[in-house]
């Protein structure tokens, strides 16, 4: 499946010596078919890459799936590797890495035939499936870590296979050590549409209608997949405690779905044990996500070891104050009073932080304004584009 590039942003202006540079092919393989924040970040990059400098080649593991559809404006090719070696929610183990090696030969040949210069890998499973094939093909490997820095692939494979490592936050950088890729790693924050202009009053009315609640209801949002790391069960626990401190109705709006039955069961048990069926609204996935975040009074992020949460930054951009677990990239994102942080293992502490925003509206407003200004200044697509292109230039020099 292939299509011509459809750019939504004018190509960046180039110096004469760069305009004369040969067009290079950058390949983006994707494992699985779940669309997440990393896919949206890549899409933001591709919509700005200059087609006179870069040929973009998308290789989805699942043809005609959601990932393929998301990148339908770009040239695509079928994954020549074997059947998927990994499934969502599975831990990465050495045995599974060995399973992934079986497709390295065919993938390496594919990369050589396609004359790929750089393979830009954006998730752990794709790195496991494509890293060795990239080195065998002679292409350059950019390992983009959007996950936990303790992942086995980043710790043991990246030091020998990756030409460059990019991490979405300081937390996500490879750990320093004798065997480490930290000497060729840097932070490049994910790109966002910093020109977002959402009518918060309109978004809130839409939220009230969707939840079928009274206009004065406090709406606290959760946005993300229902997986253990994001801890949707802790969200329910915190809101159960928050309800006891309020003199107004409360509803928790949960945007997302369970990717494993065990998490669906755990969340259901929490809702049952707290009699929360009437004040927890399960909204599924809805687009545009930023609009629904703008309809929330507070975004609560109980996730731990989050490299750099996309919904957290989107909340900053649309003016929704954030309460987050003091863990991972949440600390880096909210540093300097851009949100409230609380003990990740204490539902009461998360509830107290939310209550503080409710009882101190001036504080909530000040936090939201500061966070919005900071996010607009630091997380633009243009900034991300220039930094990634600088990495490409170094790799190809």
What is the rounded CA–CA span in Å between residue 25 and residue 2? 15
Q: Which pLDDT belongs to residue 94?
A: 61
- Provide the pLDDT for residue 261: 87
**Rounded (5°) CA angle 233-87-157:** 105
pTM for this model (two decimals): 0.79
The tokens describing 10, both together, are 């004018």
Instruction: Tell how far CA 326 is from the center of its chain.
Output: 18
Report the DSSP beta bridge partners of residue 165: 143, 185
Among 45, 71, 10, which Cα is nearest to 193's?
Answer: 45
**In the chain, which ranges are continuous DSSP H helix?**
16-19, 37-46, 66-70, 94-101, 104-113, 124-137, 152, 158-161, 200-211, 232-243, 261-273, 289-294, 310-318, 329-334, 347-359, 361-378, 381-396
Task: Give the model's pLDDT for residue 48.
Answer: 93
Please count the helices (runs of H) and the strands (runs of E) in the chain: 17, 12
- CA–CA separation, 2 vs 61, rounded Å? 15
Name the DSSP letter for residue 266: H
CA separation for the pair 210, 227 (Å, rounded): 24
Show pLDDT as tens, one digit a residue, over the chain (397 residues): 444 333 333 444 444 444 456 899 999 999 988 888 889 899 999 999 999 999 999 999 999 899 999 999 999 999 998 555 455 445 555 666 566 677 899 999 999 999 999 999 999 889 999 999 999 999 999 999 998 899 889 999 999 999 999 999 999 999 999 999 999 999 999 989 899 889 999 999 999 999 999 999 999 999 998 988 899 999 999 999 999 999 999 999 999 988 788 888 888 998 999 998 899 999 988 888 899 999 999 999 999 998 888 899 999 999 999 999 999 999 999 998 999 999 998 999 999 999 999 999 999 999 999 999 999 999 999 999 999 999 999 999 8
Q: Do 155 and 354 meet the contact criterion of CB atoms below 8 Å apart?
A: no
Token couple for 242: 């928050």
pLDDT at 38: 87
Rounded Cα distance, 57 and 388, in Å: 16
Among the listed residues 18, 75, 112, the one whose alpha carbon sits nearest the alpha carbon of residue 390: 18
From the list 162, 104, 96, the residue with the least C-alpha distance to 136 is: 104
Residue that has been written with the tokens 């067009």 in this structure:
23
Q: State the Cα–Cα distance between residues 316 and 320, nearest whole angstrom.
A: 6
Q: Which structural domains are found in the chain, ordered by start?
A: 16-191+380-396 (3.40.50.2000), 200-378 (3.40.50.2000)
């Amino acid at each position: 499946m292939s299509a011509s590039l459809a750019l939504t942003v004018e190509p960046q202006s180039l110096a004469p010596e760069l305009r004369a540079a040969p067009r290079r092919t950058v390949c983006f393989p994707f494992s699985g078919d779940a669309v997440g924040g990393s896919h949206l970040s890549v899409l933001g990059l591709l919509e700005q890459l200059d087609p006179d400098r870069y040929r973009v080649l998308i290789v989805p593991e699942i043809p005609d799936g959601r990932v393929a559809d998301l990148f339908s404006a770009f040239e695509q090719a079928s994954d020549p590797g074997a059947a998927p070696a990994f499934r969502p929610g599975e831990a990465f183990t050495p045995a599974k890495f060995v399973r992934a090696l079986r497709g390295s030969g065919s993938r390496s040949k594919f990369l050589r035939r396609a004359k790929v210069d750089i393979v830009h890998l954006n998730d752990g499973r794709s790195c496991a499936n494509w890293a060795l094939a990239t080195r065998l093909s002679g292409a350059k490997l950019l390992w983009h870590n959007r996950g936990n820095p303790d992942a086995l692939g980043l710790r043991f494979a990246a030091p020998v296979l990756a030409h460059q490592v990019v991490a979405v936050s300081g937390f996500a950088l490879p750990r320093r050590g004798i065997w480490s890729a930290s000497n060729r790693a840097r932070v490049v924050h994910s790109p966002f549409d910093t020109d977002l202009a959402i009518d918060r009053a309109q978004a809130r009315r839409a939220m009230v209608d969707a939840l079928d609640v009274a206009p004065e209801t406090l709406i606290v949002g959760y946005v993300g997949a229902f997986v253990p790391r994001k801890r949707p069960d802790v969200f329910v626990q915190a809101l159960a405690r928050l309800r006891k401190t309020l003199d107004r109705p409360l509803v928790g709006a949960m945007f997302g779905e369970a990717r494993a039955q065990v998490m669906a069961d755990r969340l259901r048990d929490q809702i049952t044990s707290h009699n929360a069926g009437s004040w927890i609204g399960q909204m599924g996935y809805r687009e545009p996500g930023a609009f629904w975040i703008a309809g929330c009074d507070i975004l609560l992020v109980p996730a731990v070891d989050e490299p750099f949460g996309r919904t957290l930054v989107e909340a900053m951009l649309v003016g929704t104050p954030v309460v987050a677990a003091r863990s991972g990239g949440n600390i880096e994102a909210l540093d300097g009073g851009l949100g409230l942080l609380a003990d990740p293992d204490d539902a009461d502490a998360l509830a107290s932080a939310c209550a503080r925003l409710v009882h101190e509206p001036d504080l909530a407003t000040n936090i939201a304004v500061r966070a919005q200004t900071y996010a607009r200044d630091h997380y633009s697509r243009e900034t991300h584009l220039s930094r990634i292109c600088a990495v490409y230039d170094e790799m190809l020099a």
